[in-house]
Amino acid sequence: MANSKPKRQRPKTKLDRARLCQINTLLNNSRTPDAQRAELEAERDLLAPVVPFPIGSLLGNEDSKPTTADNLALCARVEVARKTAAVSSPVFMSDPAGHRERARLKAANATPAEKAAALLADLPDHPLNKLARELAQYIWNEDRSNPRPSVSAMAAGWVQHWLSDALYNRHDLRGNRTTVDAALSNALKLVGDLDSADPNWYVRRAEKLLNTQPALTKPPAAHEALQTAERVRTTPIPSSTQPDEPTLNPIERANIDLAARAALVSAN
């Protein structure tokens, strides 16, 4: 750290920056006389002053290293917070009615691909799901990375990819694109038949999912959370669970020694 070059301020004008480059070139030249070198260094300090190090950036950081006592105190505070803090509440929606209306509008404006994805989630034996599971199982067996996603998650990703109508990777395990296109056409045809029979089936499905969601509770107020954090931070940490030994003065210690010796003589 002591041998590193000091950081300097960058000159503001283009001419000053060009002059600074010339000065550095001359200073790096071993043939530059000492008298001229001193003048160049003074001029460089005017063009690009040295940026001072912040307080505590060097040796001051050594004092900031936590000790064993600090780490033990931190662990104790975390344990106290884990036992005393309230159970975290679920995500709170300030406007449940507005959230429900937005979800309903999103379902009403859903694309055929989005409807097909929801429909395929309820039809695990659909040909498109079978092709996706077959391909995902093969990739999962060949993949040696760890951790790796589950086969079901990979299969769901392939279904979403095929429904996105992307122009690449539209083939099954055997490299056949016809099977994927046929299964995809069948899934979209099911969506079209359902829309023709009942245009609001997808909206009712979304409302049913909203009705099955658990009731959301309001999280604790901000001032209550701050009070809990302050209580945890200021909780004293006991230094030891063992009781302190009594302190004896020299006379008491001498009497104890004499009693021990007398007991030893009488025993003999």
The pLDDT assigned to 126 comes to 92
Residue 222: inside a domain: no
Residue 139: inside a domain: yes
Residue 91: inside a domain: no
Environment class of 112 (CB within 10 Å of its CB; exposed 0-12, middle 13-18, buried 19+):
middle
DSSP letter at 89? P
d(CA 91, CA 214): 11
Mean pLDDT of 156-169: 84
Among residues 164, 193, 212, which one ends one of the domains? 212
> 166 and 109 in one domain?
yes
d(CA 180, CA 172): 6
> 38 and 120 in one domain?
no
Instruction: Please report, rounded to a whole number, the percentage of residues in the chain having pLDDT higher than 90.
Output: 5
- SS percent in the chain: helix, strand, coil, step 5: 60, 0, 40
Check pLDDT > 50 for residue 210. yes
Check pLDDT > 80 for residue 108. yes
242-265 tens-digit pLDDT = 555 556 666 677 677 777 776 666
Which residues in 140-155 are b (16+ Cβ under 10 Å) and which e?
Answer: beeeeeeeeeebeebb
The pLDDT assigned to 104 comes to 81
Confidence at 138, pLDDT banded by 50, 70, 90: confident
Among 83-92, 123-132, 151-160, 176-185, where is mean pLDDT lowest? 83-92
> 117 and 196 in one domain?
yes
The alpha carbon torsion through 73, 78, 82, 87 (nearest 10 deg) reads 140
Residue 264: inside a domain: no
d(CA 223, CA 17): 54
Mean pLDDT of 205-217: 70
Angle between helices 34-47 and 14-28 (to 10 degrees): 150
Mean pLDDT of 130-143: 87
> 208 and 115 in one domain?
yes
Mean pLDDT of 192-221: 75
Instruction: Please report, rounded to a whole number, the percentage of residues in the chain having pLDDT higher than 70.
Output: 69
Confidence at 214, pLDDT banded by 50, 70, 90: low
Residue 176: inside a domain: yes
In the three-class reduction of DSSP (H, G, I as helix; E, B as strand; rest coil), residue 256 is classed as helix
Q: Angle at CA 234, nearest 5°, toward 230 and 237? A: 145
| Beta-bridge partner residues of 8 | 50
Mean pLDDT of 10-39: 89
> 104 and 37 in one domain?
no
The pLDDT assigned to 249 comes to 67
Domain hosting 168: range is 96-212
The pLDDT assigned to 65 comes to 72
Check pLDDT > 80 for residue 172. yes
Check pLDDT > 70 for residue 205. yes
Confidence at 3, pLDDT banded by 50, 70, 90: low
Check pLDDT > 80 for residue 114. yes
Among residues 212, 230, 247, which one ends one of the domains? 212
Residue 24: inside a domain: yes
> 117 and 35 in one domain?
no
The pLDDT assigned to 222 comes to 52
Asked if 178 and 106 count as a contact pair (C-beta separation under 8 A), the reply is no
> 118 and 31 in one domain?
no
CA 113 to chain centre: 32
Residue 4: inside a domain: no
Check pLDDT > 60 for residue 208. yes
Number of domains in the chain: 2
